[in-house]
Amino acid sequence: MLKEYSAAGRYMMAMVDALCILLAFFLSYYLRVGPLSNMPWFTERLSPLQHYLWLVGFLIVCTPLLLYWGGAYRPFRRENLLRILINLAFSVILTLFFSGAVLFFSQSWAYSRGLLILWASIYFLIIASGRILYISLLRVIRSKGFNFRRIAIMGENDVAHEVIAEIQAHSFWGMWIEGIITTRDVDRKEIFGLKVLGTLSDIESILRDHAIDEIYCTHVSSRKSLENLRRACIRIGSSLYIVPEQKKGLSCKISTEHLGSIPLIAYRTVSKAYLQRFIKRAIDFLISGIVMLVFPLIYVVVGAAIKLDSPGPVVYSSIRVAHNRRRFRCYKFRTMLNDAEKCIHFLDEVNELSGPVKKSSRDPRITKVGRFLRKYSIDEIPQFINIFKGEMSLVGPRPPLPDEVEQYKLSDLRRLSMPQGITGFWQVNGRDAVKSFDERLKLDLAYIDNWSLWLDVKIIFKTFAVIFKGGS
């Protein structure tokens, strides 16, 4: 019954969100032609309201779809409020982007882009305020003992203790722990301060005698035991959640997927946020395409300086290791002597890094022009060719040499689980001052574990600040 009420609440929320689109648009139009008409950034005259009705229709269709895609209508009993608001903001920004694209490609210059931005701002404020009010009200009701779910914990291990502590620390989730179901016979009547309901072999009688909505399974002795538990829950209509036992220090993300009709549990080292990854690739393609348009001019200027400084090619290429250990040819403006690879033994005497990577700011093979190009990262510009081809990304761990990868430990290979980039986490957190390979690896893995589009944006802005300071 609680599930049906929850689903009905989300359907009502979607309908209210659609009505708020109309409210926000008419309010923004009124503000635009009234109180805000004298603002310096609202100088153009608006078309009559009826000319915008097709745009309102587009917003009513597009916005709920993007909100749904962004997870705005998922059950949020256990969701973090800040995460909910971030998802809402992301969906509204996407709506603004698509609406602006529609106006651009339709060449409808008579329609105000400022009005669209004003609508998006007002709409976000309305639905965000509504979510905060609705969620706060539900949490107050649940903390008072209403609208709660009865749950049972299966297992008596440390994971079970963690689950119990997490639930008890969030009373506003509205989850009442009925008791513990053990995986073996025990003499105690209580575990972790909760009543022992019985063992796994008694599961059918336990579900019959107790009104349990959900079971959180933290441990089973065999696959057969898990199957018996699953069948019992399906028969009576209770939900079953499997809590994986993760070892400390091994970070991964868990999701459910399907191979045709076969259900799967997926363990990933990177986020499967397909929409964000698609946008990341679209941004890479767009920005690298723009750089490619001006690259011939950059090539002429930089190439002339390189040629005047030392003999050899303008662009240097080498085999690098990319996403999931695929190899590709990486391009850079040449910053070393033409026979630098034959003199790599010079680097052994001045190497400043520990681990498999060798590098030094005092490398005798670097030319005068090369030092300038490296200081301001100009030598990396040809890598926009790799980005355009999809071999690299704007942001990500730096692509290593195959010889370096051969010296990696098994756990080090995880830094190759994301597309390699021109700039990354450690480049903006010390850059060349980070001498230890382990420290660089730690920063790269922190980027992978916490990746989001917003993190990429912050790294890009910090990269510009580092470049303008000359790499300091």
Position 394 scores a pLDDT of 94
pLDDT at residue 471 greater than cutoff 60: no
Alpha helix (H) residue ranges in 310-452: 346-350, 368-375, 383-388, 402-406, 437-449
Between 137 and 386, the higher pLDDT residue:
386
CATH fold of the domain at 149-246: Rossmann fold (3.40.50)
For the segment 264-323, what is each residue's pLDDT rounded down to a tens digit? 777 777 777 777 888 889 999 999 999 999 999 999 999 999 999 888 899 989 999 988
Please, where are the H alpha helices in 258-382? Answer: 274-309, 346-350, 368-375
Question: Is the pLDDT at 472 greater than 50, yes or no?
Answer: no
Task: Give the model confidence (pLDDT) of 225-279 as tens digits.
Answer: 888 888 888 888 888 888 877 655 556 777 777 778 787 777 777 777 777 888 8
pLDDT of residue 8: 63
| pLDDT of 137 higher than 50 | yes
CA 399 to chain centre: 21
Amino acid at 77: R
How far apart CA 311 and CA 226 sit, in angstroms, is 70
> What average pLDDT does this structure show over 13-20?
85
- What residues pair up with 267 in beta bridges, in sequence order? 254
pLDDT of 75: 67
Percent of the chain with pLDDT over 70: 83
Tally of CB atoms within 10 A around 334: 25
According to the model, what pLDDT value does residue 1 have? 38
Residue 216 banded pLDDT, cuts 50, 70, 90: very high
CA distance linking residue 121 with residue 316, whole number of Å: 48
Domain boundaries, the chain: 2-143, 149-246, 274-468
Q: At what angle do helices 81-105 and 53-69 cross, to 10 degrees?
A: 140
Per-residue pLDDT, averaged over 47-56, amounts to 75
Mean per-residue pLDDT of the chain = 81
Tell me how crowded residue 303 is: count the other CB atoms within 10 A of its CB.
Answer: 15
Lowest model confidence (mean pLDDT) among 54-58, 115-119, 430-434: 430-434
Query: 83 — phi, psi (to 5°)?
Result: -65, -40
Residue 108: pLDDT band by 50, 70, 90 thresholds?
Answer: low
- At 369-380, the pLDDT tens digits run 988 888 888 889
Higher-confidence position of 286 and 102? 286
43 pLDDT higher than 90: no
Which position has the higher pLDDT, 57 or 384? 384
The answer to whether the Cα torsion of 277, 278, 284, 287 is positive or negative is negative
- Per-residue model confidence (pLDDT) at position 385: 94
Grade residue 432 by pLDDT with cuts at 50, 70 and 90.
low
pLDDT at 466: 77
pLDDT of 297:
93
pLDDT more than 90, % of the chain: 15
249: which residues sit within 8 A by CB, 6+ positions away? Answer: none
Q: How far is CA 387 from CA 17, 187, 328, in A?
A: 39, 63, 11
Show the tokens assigned to 443.
């920063």
